[in-house]
Chains A and B, each alone.
Chain A
Amino acid sequence: MSDISEESVRHLAGLARIALTDAEVTALTAELSQIVDVVAQVTSAVDADTPATSHPIPLSNVYREDVVTDDVLTPEQALASAPEHDGSRFKVSAILGEEQ
């Protein structure tokens, strides 16, 4: 059985910045427990010697030349979809936490 509790779901929702309702927390706790019980089978399917694969097609040294391209946006394009801006910068409400 998984160790997923309402408390852990709230913690995860905090990390993921989603303001879940109490009802969602309750529902997700049950669903996640059920899901995790199933997906946890991967743990027993492999052993320590098996290498992990993070890229399906192995490539390496894929680089870009150090040259400015026409992908650069105009400030108008950059700000076009901003919920709020001051004409040149994106505007957000007061920040509680500090830089990492």
Chain B
Amino acid sequence: MSELIHHTAAELATALADGSASSVEITQAHLDRIAAVDTDVHAFLHVNAEVSLAAAAASDKRRAAGAALNALDGIPVAIKDVLVTTDMPSTAGSKILEGWVSPYDATPVTKLREAGLVPLGKTNMDEFAMGSSTEHSAYGPTRNPWDLDRIPGGSGGGSAAAVAAFEAPLALGSDTGGSIRQPAHVTGTVGIKPTYGGVSRYGAIALASSLDQIGPVTRNVLDAAMLHDIIAGHDRHDSTSLKHEWPSMAEAVRNANVKGLRIGVVSQLDGEGFQPGVLARFHEAIALLEANGAEIVELSLPSLEHAVAAYYLILPAEASSNLAKFDSVRFGLRVTPEGGGTVEQVMSATREAGFGAEVKRRIILGTYALSAGYYDAYYGSAQKVRTLVQRDFAAGFEKVDVIASPTAPTTAWKLGEQLDDPLEMWRGDLATIPANLAGIPGISLPAGLADEDGLPVGIQFLAPAREDARLYNVGGALEQLLVDKWGHTLLSQAPALKVGAR
């Protein structure tokens, strides 16, 4: 197995720049790795070696011609299957979109292509991003590279597992309630949900439009920052896209320094309901930051008590409407009842056959929350809770620069363990959901391994809207402190994957 796969994207960029590796070599190395381990991991839904190698060859040609290149030109990147692509199918993990190829590229994908990155394939996910384990993919679960019997988190388990298993140095994810950050937490990787509107949603198959955000999934903070710098920025196709002059996130990492940084620790996300090993690593990390000049401040955000409930009204409501387009008329699956039927019957049969159980559950719940007589009590109240959450954060950020918490209450659970209990699984999103409700950015990076099971634990930082650079500052600094303390990266401790199919 080529050593190339163990390098970070930043290191590979250096190798490309000094001519010690070509994009075709790097791309081929990752394709080989996918061929070797992905039967077990199942991070990818689609890989097209020909398309990837052609893009890699084009990058090498550009470089040979001396063209001005983006730092990551020629670096492979895996794309969550929620983002539409013109050269690979886009299914969002659902049977209803099996084989569908979009006539247009999602804006983040266009930006990757323009920067010369090499799309490596589309990664597995919970169907329409509904789930926290990737078990709700219609194409079978992804497995956690740390323990193949465990979940890789979700919904972006495919992207997280791909980078954790060294199948890709970079990946894109989408985060509606933690789908980038929670998989990072359970796979020992880095994931960032940017400020809402920081990255275009155009071409991201919508789950909940007011919560969805696209972001980087990587093995270290600098790689995430470099990817973030490429995909961020205004897009005329997305009305909610921000016209903001973003500072360089990569520069924020390179200049990382927590001296004088005020870090808030949220009492509601520290204690009850959290696994001891998760809390232990969190407190150690906070102590380390404090020892290096950060100021730790206790914060109370009382509205978080109702955040999960509000989220599980807003999300299904918006999703029930967003998923109405899957009706068998213009694209996707069509199922005709035996003996034919009216278009109404064809639509209903298609949606019955094409959607999985969790998707149907949320569509019905969302339909209920919006229906006449219930709107004010449910959807209306949930939108008010959202106001309270925003107010809590606004008050908190008066006192601190960033807010810290464990990313999720537990480490990776076993496949199948929580499938029957949606409420239990939803409670796992307690720490990540508030950022989506408030539109603020969040990062999860590795904090160590839990003592009780030896599985990865993440720490989350949140910043005010448009202050994504603060996350790269504190994340970059903590990562450096931890790696210095451990003497290695966390991922280097992951058990080696058996090469070759099971």
Contact = CB atoms under 8 A, between A and B. Distances in A.
Contacts of B282: none
B387 A81 contact: no
B332 A81 contact: yes
Nearest to B359: A18
B364 A18 contact: yes
B387 A57 contact: no
A57 B465 contact: yes
A56 B355 CA distance: 29
B129 interface: no
A88 interface: no
B171 to A, nearest CB: 24
A90 B365 CA distance: 31
A1 interface: no
Nearest to B331: A81
B80 to A, nearest CB: 20
A73 interface: yes
Contacts of A39: 309-310, 312-313, 378, 382
Interface stretch (B131-139, B286-294, B342-350, B452-460): B342-350
Interface residues of B, number: 75
A56 B210 contact: yes
Nearest to A64: B236
B331 A82 contact: yes
A31 to B, nearest CB: 6
**Which of B211, B328, B344, B436 gathers most chain A CB within 10 Å?**
B344
Contacts of A41: 306, 309
Nearest to B376: A43
A9 B371 CA distance: 12
Nearest to A46: B384
A18 B361 CA distance: 11
A9 B364 contact: yes
A97 B312 CA distance: 32
Contact of B329 (A13, A45, A92): A92
A52 B384 contact: yes
B384 A20 contact: no
The main secondary structure of chain B at its interface with chain A is helix
B482 interface: no
Interface string A14-43: 011111110010001001101110111111
Given A53-B387, A80-B103, A93-B340, A16 B351 contact: yes
A42 B374 CA distance: 12
B336 A93 contact: yes
Interface in A48-100: 50-57, 59, 62, 64, 71, 73, 77-78, 80-84, 90, 92-97
B197 A57 contact: yes
Nearest to A29: B364
Contact of A77 (B103, B313, B381): B103
A71 B104 contact: yes
Given A12-B368, A18-B360, A54 B383 contact: yes
Given A40-B377, A62-B239, A19 B364 contact: no
Contact of A35 (B347, B348, B384, B423): B423
Contacts of A80: 101, 103
B348 A18 contact: yes
B310 A42 contact: yes
Interface in B311-367: 312-313, 320, 324, 327-334, 336-337, 340-349, 351-352, 355, 357, 360-361, 363-365, 367
Nearest to A2: B368
B179 to A, nearest CB: 16
B383 A53 contact: yes
Contacts of B306: 41-42, 45
A56 B386 CA distance: 8
A38 B390 contact: no
A19 B348 CA distance: 5
A52 B437 CA distance: 12
A25 to B, nearest CB: 10
Contact of B368 (A32, A34, A51, A95): A32
A12 B367 contact: yes
A77 to B, nearest CB: 4
A57 B240 contact: yes
A19 B345 contact: yes
Interface in B432-472: 436-440, 465
Contacts of B233: none
Contact of B381 (A42, A78, A93, A95): A42
Q: Identify the 10 closest CB pairs spanning chains A and B, nearest first.
A: A56-B439, A52-B383, A83-B334, A81-B331, A46-B384, A19-B348, A77-B103, A96-B342, A19-B352, A42-B381
Given A39-B378, A46-B384, 19 more contacts: A12-B364, A17-B327, A17-B351, A19-B345, A20-B360, A32-B361, A32-B365, A42-B309, A45-B384, A46-B388, A52-B387, A56-B440, A57-B439, A77-B103, A82-B329, A84-B334, A92-B346, A93-B340, A96-B344
Interface of B: 100-101, 103-104, 195-197, 210-211, 236-237, 239-240, 242, 303, 305-306, 309-310, 312-313, 320, 324, 327-334, 336-337, 340-349, 351-352, 355, 357, 360-361, 363-365, 367-368, 371, 377-378, 380-388, 390, 422-423, 436-440, 465
18 contacts: A17-B327, A20-B360, A32-B364, A35-B365, A36-B365, A41-B306, A41-B309, A42-B309, A50-B384, A52-B380, A52-B383, A52-B384, A71-B237, A81-B331, A81-B332, A83-B331, A90-B329, A96-B344
